[in-house]
A and B are shown apart, each in its own frame.
Chain A
Amino acid sequence: MQKESGFLRQELGRGYGLVFQQAWPAWLSGIFLAILAVMLFMWWHAWGVAGGFANWGDWFYHLLGIYDSSPEKSIFLHGMSVSNIGLLVGAFASALLSRQFGVHRAPKFEYLKGLAGGALMGVGAALAAGCNVGGFYSALGMLDLGGFMMMLGLFAGAYLGLLYLLWEMENIGQGATGGQHVDKNKGTDWSKAFPYIGGFVFLLILTSFQAYSWLGHTKMGGVLFLGFLIGLVMHRGRFCFANAFREPFMTGDSTMMRGVIISLILYALGAAAMKWAYIQPPTAGIYHPFWIGSLGGGLIFGFGMLLAGGCGSGSLWRAGEGHLKLWLALAGFFLTNSPVSKFIDQSGLSEYLGQGIFIPNILTWQGGLILFILVLFGLFLLLRWNEETENFVAF
């Protein structure tokens, strides 16, 4: 018996080390992310982040008395809000379990950049009808042509954002915080308890899933749980769309974008199987404004994510890891996303931004899927070539 318990302890230790001590490669996180995104699509609908921020913003302005009517759904019953909460908590648990959690403070100017970057992302996501997740990742997963336009906008915005950061380095001096002084000889070293607190958070999420079920909202419970797993996967792989769009211009590296490409192909194939078999309607998730909204929104969003140091999903998981700058980015995001989305809807501007175009409607299922994969393969080759030549690197 002692031998068996020793074996079990050894195997559990090995598993823990594998999952929470070593960083996951981008391609592995990309594969897991695609599986979770497909599961979320099967369980509920296409994964999105910005819609959840809009809901938080709606509530914020309503509670301040600026919006008369109260939002239709509470933050605990609005699907994207619930998956955002799950993502944030999942990253928090993952950061605790891997002992990477900490309250990371930043110089004052960085906080300003976080807020401004978040505000720009909120505007960009309103124009593109989604952030890097809804407007790009899920849009392409659903085979909506607007996703490709947002991709171009995100590359252009990330390039301009990088040029700004280079200018800032030359022209605006800023002091580092000097880190946080922690005297480990005094008081309790909480970091030893982090993995246990992380385990407790995991149990809390399972309990919440069950509680949703008891209250007759099993679907939302599942969304919370899948969001939690997405947060965990993104944190362990440090899966970052801002990195994917920025690095080809900053260092030439395309490791993260290659992870995104693998993930997109799997996501699109999984979602296509469900749509083709009518498990979900073929036009589900097809509403991204091709081409002005997606391109312009991507451009503004891309610039904003470079300032903030995280995109829609990246800001969430980094906030869960304890970065105060990214908490401000989240605040900036919902403060602008809610009113700008309302303005676009009510002013009739949405008519000029474009409309969703389902790729298989133009090219048939077979042709659409082949072209989709070929475009992404072309991007892969272009990025590999750039890695060798650094032709696109800004400095």
Chain B
Amino acid sequence: MNLEDIQADEVLNARGLSCPMPLLKMKKTLKGMKKEQILEVLGTDPGSKNDIPNYCEKHNYNFLGYYDDQENFTRYYIQIQ
């Protein structure tokens, strides 16, 4: 799946926030979403590159991947299983 083509159902803007706020907000947002839906998280904290995939792996969410946007932040994609 090409990450750049994904149309997310919800977008969480966590740019500028540092640990633990991106993960805390992500957890809350994911809880309100339905099966098969995709969440896009926008973040700038370098720690999120470890935290988000680890969290998804341990909590049975499908982590689709991330890529660095041109504007110096990262886009993460998570799907509810």
Q: Which residues of A contact B (CB under 8 A)?
A: 23, 100, 102, 104-107, 110, 165-166, 169, 176-182, 184, 238, 240, 242-243, 246, 250-253, 255, 306, 309-310, 318, 321, 323, 325-326, 395
CB contacts (< 8 Å) of A318 on chain B: these are 18
Whether A309 lies near B21 (C-beta < 8 A) is: yes
When the two chains form their complex, are residues B47 and A251 in contact, meaning their CB atoms are under 8 A apart? no
A181 touches B71 (CB 8 A): yes
Determine whether the beta carbon of B72 is less than 8 Å from that of A309.
no
Report how many A-B pairs have Cβ atoms within 8 Å: 89
Most buried by B among A240, A253, A310: A253
Interface residues on B, range: 20 to 34
> How far apart are the CA atoms of A104 and B71 in the complex, in Å?
13
Q: Quick one: closest B residue to A240, CB to CB?
A: B19
Question: Can you list 8 residue pairs at the A/B interface with Cβ under 8 Å?
Answer: A102-B44, A102-B46, A166-B24, A179-B73, A180-B44, A318-B18, A323-B18, A395-B27
| A177 / chain B contacts, CB cutoff of 8 Å | 15-16, 44
User: Are B47 and A106 neighbours in the complex by a CB distance under 8 Å?
Assistant: no
Looking at chain A's contact residues, the main secondary structure is loop
Q: Which residues of B contact A250 (CB under 8 A)?
A: 20, 23-24, 27
**B27: nearest chain-A partner, CB-CB:** A251
Q: Would you call B59 and A176 a contact (CB within 8 A)?
A: no
Q: How far is the CA of A178 from the CA of B17 in the complex (A)?
A: 10
Task: Pick out which of these stretches binds chain A: B2-10, B32-40, B50-58.
Answer: B50-58
> Is A321 touching B46 in the complex (CB atoms < 8 A)?
yes
B20 x A178 contact (CB < 8 A): no
B16 is contacted by which of A23, A107, A321 (Cβ under 8 Å)? A107
Q: Complex Cα distance A176/B15, Å?
A: 5
Report the Cα distance A180→B46, complex, angstroms.
14
Tell whether B42 is near chain A: CB-to-CB under 8 Å. Answer: yes
Report Cα–Cα, A242/B24, bound state, in Å.
14
> Which of chain B's residues have a CB closer than 8 A to the CB of A252?
58
A105 vs B16: C-alpha distance when bound (angstroms): 6
B13 touches A (CB below 8 Å): yes
A102 to B18, CA, bound (A): 13
Nearest-neighbor residue (CB-CB) of B28 within chain A: A169
Interchain CB contact under 8 A, A309 and B19: yes
Interface: B70 (CB within 8 A): yes
Contacts of A105 in B (CB 8 A): 16
Chain A residues with Cβ under 8 A from B80's Cβ?
none
Please tell me if the beta carbons of A107 and B17 are within 8 angstroms of each other in the complex: yes
Give the residues in chain A near B25, CB-CB below 8 Å. Answer: 169
Evaluate contact between B18 and A325: CB separation under 8 angstroms: yes
Are B72 and A179 touching (Cβ within 8 A)?
yes
Instruction: Judge whether A178 and B72 touch: CB under 8 Å.
Output: no
In the assembled complex, B14 has its CB within 8 A of some CB on chain A: yes
Sample of 18 more A-B contacts, CB < 8 Å, known A306-B20, A310-B19: A102-B44, A106-B16, A106-B18, A107-B16, A110-B18, A177-B15, A177-B16, A177-B44, A178-B15, A178-B16, A179-B16, A181-B71, A182-B71, A243-B19, A251-B58, A252-B58, A253-B55, A321-B46
- Docked pose: A181 CA to B69 CA in angstroms: 10
Contacts of A253 in B (CB 8 A): 54-55, 58
- Chain A residue nearest to B50 (CB atoms) is A23
Interchain CA distance A114-B75 in the complex, whole Å: 25
Cβ-neighbour of B42 out of A106, A110, A179, A395 (below 8 A): A179
Indicate if the CB atoms of B24 and A169 lie closer than 8 Å: yes
B27 touches A100 (CB 8 A): no
Across the interface, B59 reaches (CB within 8 A) one of A180, A246, A251, A309, namely: A251
Contact A104 B18 (CB under 8 A): yes
A145 to B18, CA, bound (A): 33
- Which chain A residues border B71 with CB–CB below 8 Å? 179-182
| Structural contact, A165 and B18, CB atoms closer than 8 A | no
B17 in contact with A106 (CB, 8 Å):
yes
Residues of A within 8 A of B59 (CB): 251
A309 to B72 Cα, complex, angstroms: 22
Chain A: CB-nearest residue to B19: A309
Bound-state CA distance A325–B44 (Å) is 13
Of the candidates A104, A242, A246, the one whose C-beta lies within 8 Å of that of B44 is A104
A176 near B17 with CB under 8 A, answer yes
| B-chain residues with CB within 8 Å of residue A23 when the two chains form the complex | 49-50
